[in-house]
Amino acid sequence: MRVTYGAGFLPVIGGAKSLVHMDAAGNVTFNVPDKTPAVIRRRIGEFAQMLAKLPQTDMPVDETLVDGLYVRKLLIPRGTFLVGKVHRQTCANFVESGDISILTETGCGRVKAGHFAMSKAGIQKLGYAHEDTVFVNVFRTDEQDISKIEDLIASTQHADSEDGGLLCQ
């Protein structure tokens, strides 16, 4: 997985209309005055396009497949922004360790180790890791070939889907 991280993205943060704000102490928050799901989807997409133009790094994904469950585990370094793909199906989300702010079209907030939530199909997450964070997604699948699973569970574009579940309170 390639993500933008580090100080290289800081010039894009700020301004009254920016999706992401960083205060003088380095605290990152999301700016979502219009909470309409379509608006948040668009703003996350625009932010992802902007991040894609900045320096990137590879973060390996630890994948496990057992008894119809596909588990994706990602270590997100402190100070990293990342935008996930759009989920094609419901999945369970766990913050195994760390501290991360997450924005989806259904809500946003800062969550820490031990947090659990479900994401419905159609959800895309924007995250910022305040600490090194291990984030885990669990999907149900009948596919036995890990190399084929990502195309089944995720997309780079939104399709018509039911409203997503609240990821963060």
Who contacts 107 (Cβ-Cβ below 8 Å, separation ≥6)? Answer: 166, 167, 168, 169
Contact status, residue 167 vs residue 122, Cβ threshold 8 Å = no
SS3 90: coil
Domain total in the chain = 1
Among 81, 78, 75, 77, which residue's Cα sits nearest to residue 60?
75
State residue 76's pLDDT score: 94
* Res 169 pLDDT > 50: no
State residue 15's pLDDT score: 62
C-alpha span between 8 and 43 (Å, rounded): 20
Classify residue 87: in a domain, yes or no. yes
Among 95, 51, 44, 104, which residue's Cα sits nearest to residue 74?
95
Average pLDDT score, the chain? 83
| Domain extent at residue 97 | 2-155
* Res 164 pLDDT > 50: no
Element (H, E) at 44: helix 37-52
* Res 7 pLDDT > 60: no
Among 123, 158, 147, 148, which residue's Cα sits nearest to residue 137?
123
Classify residue 168: in a domain, yes or no. no
* Res 121 pLDDT > 80: yes
pLDDT tens track for 23-56: 777 778 888 888 999 999 999 999 999 888 888 8
> pLDDT: is 167 or 115 the higher one?
115
Provide the CATH number for the domain around residue 42. Answer: 2.60.120.10
Classify residue 82: in a domain, yes or no. yes
Classify residue 160: in a domain, yes or no. no
Taking the model in full, what pTM does it have? 0.83
Question: Identity (one letter) of the amino acid at 102?
Answer: I
pLDDT tens track for 127-162: 999 999 999 999 999 999 988 998 888 877 776 534
Classify residue 85: in a domain, yes or no. yes
* Res 103 pLDDT > 80: yes
Query: Please, which contacts does 12-20 make with residues 24 or more away whose CB atoms are closer than 8 Å?
Result: 12/50, 12/51, 12/54, 19/43, 19/44, 19/46, 19/47, 19/103, 19/126, 20/47, 20/81, 20/128
> pLDDT: is 59 or 3 the higher one?
59
Classify residue 164: in a domain, yes or no. no
SS3 17: coil
